[in-house]
């Protein structure tokens, strides 16, 4: 496994692979790798060779009061995990390589970036879209793999790829969860033991919404109320949002008649966790739930 630090070297490696007719895959991460990240790597390896994993804690997607400095960094353990999977290369540039002095250009996906996460974290998606566009330009993957865990992010990146006629396909993969349903996240490491136990409420809220809809509920407010009730019953949880939104526009829905997401953002102490469920109406009139 190669560790690549410079843009020039990364571009050259990808150019060579493409020249040999190989299918290049990219898994962008911020490190602190867990099974969620590794599931993306395995999927990429089924479809691509070579597979590059980028590890870059992108400063521009963190707000001034956010956790950039204390974001978990587990470099040696990350390399071991990727080596064990047989990843071809790790692209781990320094921030100055990605953002040299005088850097001025950013990407903003209008209309999808301001709501939900964007409202709570202004500028976050501008940082994400910009760094992902740069990574796609540098690695030139045929396919780039992202988790549905960050559903709004994945939707924004798909829109960016379509709008800018990018050659890379954005592939969205399922959420990997702990046995109690908590979605794996690098930020779970911040939780105190009692907060970690409480955090299972995210999955319980989605599960309660699923039960309500499986019993016939199609009114978004009714389903949101059910999620709120479950979240409000957990004293250590403080809900930022619990919404049902259209899967394409990310606008709030009133009735569940098209694919939509139930999206949750909830604080446990200073730690903000996300979760979601994709709800897809079937021809039979029943709903399919991807949790």
- Chain positions contacting ligand AMP, by CB under 6 A: 29-30, 36-37, 39-40, 146-147, 149-150, 173, 175-176, 183-186
SS3 243: strand
Residues 6+ away with beta carbon under 8 Å from 104: none
Least distance (Å) between residue 255 CB and ligand AMP: 28
CB-nearer residue toward ligand AMP: 183 or 263: 183
CB-nearer residue toward ligand AMP: 205 or 256: 205
Least distance (Å) between residue 151 CB and ligand AMP: 8
d(CA 50, CA 190): 34
Does residue 6 contact residue 131 with C-beta atoms inside 8 Å?
no
Least distance (Å) between residue 187 CB and ligand AMP: 8
Edge to edge, the sheet with strand 51-55 lists: 2-4, 89-91, 51-55, 25-29, 143-147, 169-173
Does residue 156 contact residue 133 with C-beta atoms inside 8 Å?
no
CB-nearer residue toward ligand AMP: 219 or 267: 267
d(CA 124, CA 58): 10
- Which residue in the shown chain puts its C-beta closest to ligand AMP? 147
Least distance (Å) between residue 147 CB and ligand AMP: 2
CB-nearer residue toward ligand AMP: 186 or 224: 186
| Active-site residue, from 37, 108, 124, 203 | 37
Bridge-based pairing state of the strands 51-55 and 25-29: parallel
> Active-site residue 203, yes or no?
no
d(CA 191, CA 188): 6
Give the active site residues: 37
């Amino acid at each position: 496994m190669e560790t690549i630090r410079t843009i020039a070297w990364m571009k050259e490696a990808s150019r060579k692979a493409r020249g040999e007719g190989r299918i290049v895959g990219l898994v962008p991460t911020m490190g602190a790798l867990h099974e969620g990240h590794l599931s993306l790597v395995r999927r990429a390896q089924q479809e691509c060779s070579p597979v590059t994993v980028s590890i870059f804690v992108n400063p521009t997607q963190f707000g001034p009061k956010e956790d950039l400095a204390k974001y978990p960094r587990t470099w040696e353990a990350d390399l071991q995990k990727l080596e064990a999977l047989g990843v071809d290369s790790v692209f781990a540039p320094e921030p100055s390589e990605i953002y040299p002095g005088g850097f001025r250009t950013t990407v903003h996906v209008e209309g999808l970036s301001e709501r939900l996460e964007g409202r709570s974290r202004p500028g976050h998606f501008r940082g994400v879209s910009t760094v992902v566009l740069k990574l796609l330009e540098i690695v030139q993957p045929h396919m780039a793999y992202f988790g549905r865990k960050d559903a709004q992010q994945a939707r924004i990146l798909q829109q960016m790829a379509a709008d800018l006629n990018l050659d890379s396909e954005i592939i969205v993969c399922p959420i990997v969860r702990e046995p109690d349903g908590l979605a794996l996240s690098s930020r779970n490491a911040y939780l105190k033991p009692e907060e970690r136990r409480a955090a299972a409420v995210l999955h319980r809220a989605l599960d309660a919404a699923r039960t309500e809809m499986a019993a016939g509920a199609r009114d978004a407010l009714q389903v949101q109320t059910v999620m709120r009730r479950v979240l409000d019953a957990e004293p250590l949880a403080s809900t930022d949002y619990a919404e049902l939104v259209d899967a394409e526009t990310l606008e709030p829905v009133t009735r569940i008649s098209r694919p939509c997401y139930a999206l949750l953002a909830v604080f446990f102490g200073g730690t903000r966790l996300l979760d979601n469920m994709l709800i897809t109406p079937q021809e039979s009139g029943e709903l399919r739930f991807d949790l």
